[in-house]
Structure 1
Amino acid sequence: MPPSTPKLTVDAVIILNGKIVLIQRKNPPFQGKLALPGGFVDIGETTEEAVVREVLEETGLTIEIVKLLGVYSEPSRDPRGHTVSVVYLTLGNGVPKADSDAKAVHLLSLEDIPRMAFDHNLIIDNARSDIDGILSRM
């Protein structure tokens, strides 16, 4: 029986050393594709706690949440089923190291970001003015 409600996820747009942190997905869906770090919210966890945990698990980075960027709820955004993602703009700290569901971690400039998994290019496009604002102050 299919789930009766969407699953809650989080994603992070992370700025580190003037670049955007992306992971290369280790597992399906979109295995091998670049994506924003993120994942499912655990029971009893806030979305803020979840994004901090997921980023640490996938990239080895700690983050400072700058702001809520938006909520993405298009039913077809994830081939595994309907997910709703709460997306945060964050600043990264530390040395990136792939772990958990990430095969690799990449730091790319906005101009170098290729086609990504899920709706993550849309998220980056929608966040561009916020990202540019932070980058201009670095």
Structure 2
Amino acid sequence: MAYKIPSLTVDIFIFNDEKEFILIKRKNDPYKDFWALPGGFVDYGETTEHAAVREAKEETSIDVELIKLFNVYSDPDRDPRRHTVSVFYLAHGDMNDAKADDDAKDIGIFSFDDLDNLDLAFDHRMILNQVKEYFDKE
């Protein structure tokens, strides 16, 4: 019997000491031209930690330091292409190095005050609101 297996992805919240963070504008569908957290698919034989660092570098040109495994998101409807499970990390990075690359059309540095004015991809608004709550409690 063949089993359907969800795809494994990573998403990364890259932030600085002022709690500003990076979002990328998607170049491709789904959610073309929407803002999204940097991230992508985990390659076969790769750890999620390595995938997070690699995807951050590929999409933002930033070398990151992973700070915390924040959560795992697994709603089967979170990605319209297929069922994905995302391992989500908080990471520190130097915003001065930020440059859109790979499948990122643009890159921006935002604060939590900007969230209401952004078209966000996937379930990233919910995720960002959870990160905001986490930082508010610190």
Query: Common fold, TM-score beyond 0.5?
Result: yes
Aligned equivalents of 1:52 and 1:100: distance in 2? Answer: 14
Q: Which moved more, 1:125-134 or 1:23-32?
A: 125-134
Q: Name the aligned partner's letter for residue 41 of structure 2.
A: F
With structure 1 as the length reference, what TM-score do the two structures score? Answer: 0.90
Q: Name the aligned partner's letter for residue 15 of structure 1.
A: F
**CA positional deviation for 1:17:** 5.6
Residue aligning to 1:21: 22
Aligned equivalents of 1:133 and 1:95: distance in 2? Answer: 29
State the aligned residue count. Answer: 133
With structure 2 as the length reference, what TM-score do the two structures score? Answer: 0.90
Q: 1:116 aligns with which of 90, 114, 120?
A: 120
Describe the superposition over 1:6-34 as per-residue Cα deviations: whole angstroms up to 9, x where unpaired: 00000001103621100000011100000
Structure 1 residue runs without a partner (length 5+) = none
Residue aligning to 2:134: 130
| 1:61-72 matched pairs, under 5 angstroms | 61-72=62-73
**CA positional deviation for 1:131:** 3.3
Residue aligning to 1:48: 49
RMSD over equivalenced CA pairs, Å:
1.8
> Given the superposition, is the C-alpha separation of residues 55 and 8 from structure 1 closer, same or farther in structure 2, using an over 3 Å criterion?
same
1:101 aligns with 2:106: no
Describe the superposition over 1:52-111 as per-residue Cα deviations: whole angstroms up to 9, x where unpaired: 000000000011111011000000000001000000011112510000010011001111
What percentage of residue pairs aligned between the two structures are identical? Answer: 49
> Given the superposition, is the C-alpha separation of residues 76 and 119 from structure 1 closer, same or farther in structure 2, using an over 3 Å criterion?
same
Structure 2 residue runs without a partner (length 5+) = none
Aligned equivalents of 2:61 and 2:80: distance in 1? Answer: 27
Q: Name the aligned partner's letter for residue 5 of structure 1.
A: I
